[in-house]
Chains A and B, each alone.
Chain A
Amino acid sequence: MDYATLLQILDSTLRLATPLLLACIAGLYSERSGVFDIGLEGKMLVAAMCAGAVAFYTGSAWIGALAGIAGSLLFAAIHGVTSITFRGNQLIAGVALNFLASGMTVLVAQSFFGQGGRTPPLEGAARFNPIHLPFAEAVKDVPIIGTFYHEVISGHSILVYAAFGIVALTWWVLYRTRYGLRLRAVGENPAAVDTAGVSVKGLRFSAVMITGILCGLAGAYMATALQAGFGKEMTAGRGYIALAALIFAKWRPVAAMYACLLFGFFQALALRPDVVEAVVQFKVPVPFLDALPYVLTVLVLAGFVGKAIPPRAGGEPYVKER
Chain B
Amino acid sequence: MDRLPRWADVALVPLVSLTLAAILSALVIIAIGQDPWEAITVMVQGSVMNAYGWGYTLYYATSFIFTGLAVTVAFHAGLFNIGGEGQAQLGGLGVALACLFIPWPHWTLALIGAACGAALFGAAWAAIPAYLQAKRGSHIVITTIMFNYIAASLMIFMLVDVLRPPGKMDPATDNFPAGTHLPSFNEIPGLNLIFTSGVPANVTFFIALIMAVVVWALLWRTRLGYQIRAFGKSEPAARYAGINPVRIIMIAMLISGGLAGLMAINNVMGEAERLLGNSASGAGFIGIAVALMGRNHPVGVVLAALLFGFLFQGGAELGLWTKIPIELRTVVQGLVILFTGALDMMVRMLLVRVFAFFRSNRMEAA
Contact = CB atoms under 8 A, between A and B. Distances in A.
Tell whether any CB of A sits under 8 Å from a CB of B in the complex.
Answer: yes
B343 interface: yes
A305 B138 contact: yes
Contacts of B285: 99
A237 interface: yes
Interface in B124-179: 128-129, 132, 136-139, 141-143, 145-147, 149-150, 153-154, 156-157, 160-161
A143 interface: no
A1 to B, nearest CB: 24
A96 B153 CA distance: 24
Contact of A240 (B142, B154, B289, B334): B142
Given A100-B331, A103-B328, A301-B138, A93 B342 contact: yes
A88 B333 contact: no
Contacts of B327: 102-104, 106-107, 110, 117
Interface in B324-346: 325, 327-335, 337-338, 341-346
Interface in A7-60: 38
A173 interface: no
B138 A302 contact: yes
Interface SS, B side: helix
A82 B325 contact: no
Interface stretch (A156-164, A207-215, A290-298): A290-298
Nearest to B347: A86
Contacts of A106: 325, 327, 330
Given A91-B141, A99-B285, A111-B325, A295 B150 contact: yes
A100 B328 contact: no
A89 interface: yes
A243 interface: yes
Contact of B142 (A103, A108, A243): A243
B345 A87 contact: yes
Nearest to A102: B330
A247 interface: yes
B292 interface: yes
B80 interface: yes
Contacts of A72: none
B110 interface: no
Contacts of B289: 99
B343 A86 contact: yes
Contacts of A96: 334-335, 337-338, 341-342
A262 to B, nearest CB: 15
B157 A287 contact: yes
A103 B333 contact: yes
Interface in A92-149: 92-93, 95-104, 106-108, 110-111, 117
A288 B132 contact: no
B5 interface: no
B105 interface: no
B337 A88 contact: no
B46 to A, nearest CB: 19
A88 B138 contact: no
A298 B143 CA distance: 6
A261 interface: no
Interface residues of B, number: 51
B32 interface: yes
A307 interface: yes
Given A89-B342, A92-B341, A106-B325, A247 B146 contact: no
Contact of B150 (A87, A88, A103, A294): A294
A98 B80 contact: no
A86 B136 CA distance: 32
Contacts of A91: 80, 141
A120 to B, nearest CB: 17
A106 B337 CA distance: 19
Given A107-B327, A285-B161, A291-B153, A298 B33 contact: no
B257 to A, nearest CB: 16
Contacts of B141: 38, 91
Given A98-B334, A104-B331, A298-B132, A307 B157 contact: no
Contacts of A104: 28, 327, 331, 334
A100 B338 contact: yes
Given A87-B345, A102-B330, A97 B338 contact: yes
Interface in A283-319: 285, 287-288, 290-291, 294-295, 297-298, 301-303, 305, 307-308
26 contacts: A38-B141, A82-B342, A88-B341, A88-B346, A93-B342, A96-B341, A96-B342, A99-B337, A100-B330, A100-B334, A102-B334, A103-B327, A103-B330, A103-B333, A106-B330, A107-B325, A111-B325, A240-B145, A243-B142, A247-B139, A285-B157, A294-B147, A295-B146, A298-B138, A298-B146, A302-B136
Given A96-B342, A111-B323, 8 more contacts: A88-B341, A89-B341, A102-B330, A106-B325, A237-B149, A301-B138, A302-B132, A305-B138
Interface of B: 28, 32-34, 80, 82, 128-129, 132, 136-139, 141-143, 145-147, 149-150, 153-154, 156-157, 160-161, 285, 288-289, 292, 323, 325, 327-335, 337-338, 341-346, 349
